[in-house]
Amino acid sequence: MAIKIYHNPRCSKSRKALEVLDESVHDIEVINYLQEGVSDDVLRMGLEQLGFEKFIRTGEDAYKAHVKGQELNETQLMKVLKNHPILMQRPLLVKEDGTCMLGRDVTEVEELVKK
């Protein structure tokens, strides 16, 4: 199984998810999304599969400045996410079949790698 993890090394939940993957998965691509960015395709998948409420970090200053109280269409929201990747919930795990999940719950990450 190949998995991409959109990782923030400063986040304890992201580090823990990466530890679980390192122990069980041989084909891992680690993407430090705050430095490398995120493709439109991945952002779109995250929004579609997880939904706005799970995928967007609403406690960030960038959310309050660029999203809160505004009616953004998909193109506008994607632009905000590209410019402020901190708004993306982490860690995002993307399997080779294109399905994605959040790796915030270690139990769910462990279940993923057992499949």
Task: Give the gyration radius of the chain's Cα atoms.
Answer: 14
Of 50, 80, 86, nearest to 68 by C-alpha is 80
The tokens of 112 are what? 């993923």
CA-to-CA separations, 53 to 49, 88, 96, 99, 109, in angstroms, rounded: 11, 11, 24, 18, 20
Q: Using alpha carbons only, give the angle 100, 52, 86 rounded to the nearest 5 degrees.
A: 80
Respond yes or no: is residue 100 known to be catalytic. no
Whether 20 and 110 have beta carbons less than 8 Å apart is answered as: yes
> Among residues 2, 4, 10, 11, which one is catalytic?
11
So which residues are the catalytic ones? 11
